[in-house]
Amino acid sequence: MNRLTKYFLIALATALGISLLWMVILADSVDSRTQFFANGSYDMFTPPHPVTGEKASQNMAAQPGRAMFHFFVVTMLAGAMMLTLLWLNGAAKPLLRWGCCAGLALVLYVEQWQANSYFMDYRSPAQDYADNAVFQQLRADTGRPRVAFLTRAGFYNNWLSLLLPYYDIDSIDIPAASRPPADYVAFFGAVDRAPLRKWELCSVKYILGPKEAAEQSFKQLGCDKFINVVMEFDFFGKQALFKCTRALPRAVVLHRWEIVADNDKLLTRLTDPKFDPHTTLLLDADPGIAADASAPPSTAVELVKFEPMRVSLKTSLKSPGILMLTDRFDNGWSATVDGAPAKILRANFIMRAVVLPPGDHRVVFSFSSSADFAWFTQAIWVAIVLGLIATAVGALRRRK
């Protein structure tokens, strides 16, 4: 036995011995780890294995031991074939050498396939996007209200990320926003401290979450009298769809407003418990019309058509008012009132609004990207094309 083979044998024996010792330690602690994951509510939101019936907590606890056993078997097989190749170094046994090489390649292939299979999840669209009574209830509300999630654990995250967009249901929660706009951060930084006011301002009419935990949370926040259970359903425990009776309509006309030019003071006023967003609008600039003290606090608005980049509304007013759509203000949006261009006001710090005189009106909000940004994009493409032409001409000249 040469020195290389000897050192390799020592290293292989050490690795196998350590892995065996580690498997014993993991096997001895599997019960405590199972209890730890069970206490972390893994079993509440993750279904058992459809074949073995193994719970999520049991699977999480068993994974380290299974991984170590996998390492032991692969290391033992690959090590045995490598030792055989080292032992046959220079020996005239080509079939055995080629057999060891093929076996080693097979072991590595199977090991890589099993490692990658953990990240391959074959799903059924018909099952993943299956309709249910909750989505049917949300779609039945033609006022286009939003839904909020009290937790994103387990299936709720899947609903938020996949099912709500699939069924065209709006949510106040965003699956991912790595760089939110400054006004978004400021607004939610203020209203997140008062959840009921946030749901109220953002037209969150429905709330989803575990029933008992949600009811306890509503009582602690002091808003339980404004929230009712719409339906209960069993899905990894008792869940519920709640209705917030204080939510503003997605679009509404208000006939009273206050002007608060300072953003910090506006946000403070917006979250003041004495402020009623159902009767008063907060603006950062003069709308150019006078409020009618004899008018009712609000007038209903009908949503004619609601699309991601175009919203059509209609209403009938007996006195001047300001129509507010509880969607974010952005310079890319434009508005028309009865076909004529209208200025979009910033209402309640972050919402879009337009001034309306008395009468029947049709209001359309439409979105288009900034002209400056469009010219910038076109300039980049022109520069790329000119660069390619210059490169091609230069190459042709060098050939000549």
Which tokens is 333 given? 């949006």
Q: What is the pLDDT of residue 340?
A: 96
| Arithmetic mean of pLDDT over the chain | 87
Nearest alpha-carbon partner for 214 in 200, 189, 195, 201: 195
pLDDT tens-place string over residues 126-151: 777 888 899 999 999 999 999 999 98
The C-alpha torsion from 275 through 280 and 283 to 287, rounded to 10°, is -160
Rounded to two decimals, what is the model's pTM? Answer: 0.69
Residue 323 buriedness (CB in 10 A; 0-12 / 13-18 / 19+): buried
Q: What is the 3-state secondary structure (H, E, C) of 53-85?
A: CCCHHHHHHHHHHHHHHHHHHHHHHHHHHHHHH
Residues of the chain with pLDDT under 70: 1, 40-47, 89-93, 118-123, 370-376, 399-400
CA distances from 323 to 33, 34, 320, 396 (A): 57, 56, 10, 63
> What are the pLDDT digits (tens) for 53-104?
888 788 888 888 888 888 888 888 888 888 787 777 656 567 777 788 888 8
Q: CA distances (Å), 111 to each of 101, 106, 125, 171, in order?
A: 15, 8, 29, 43
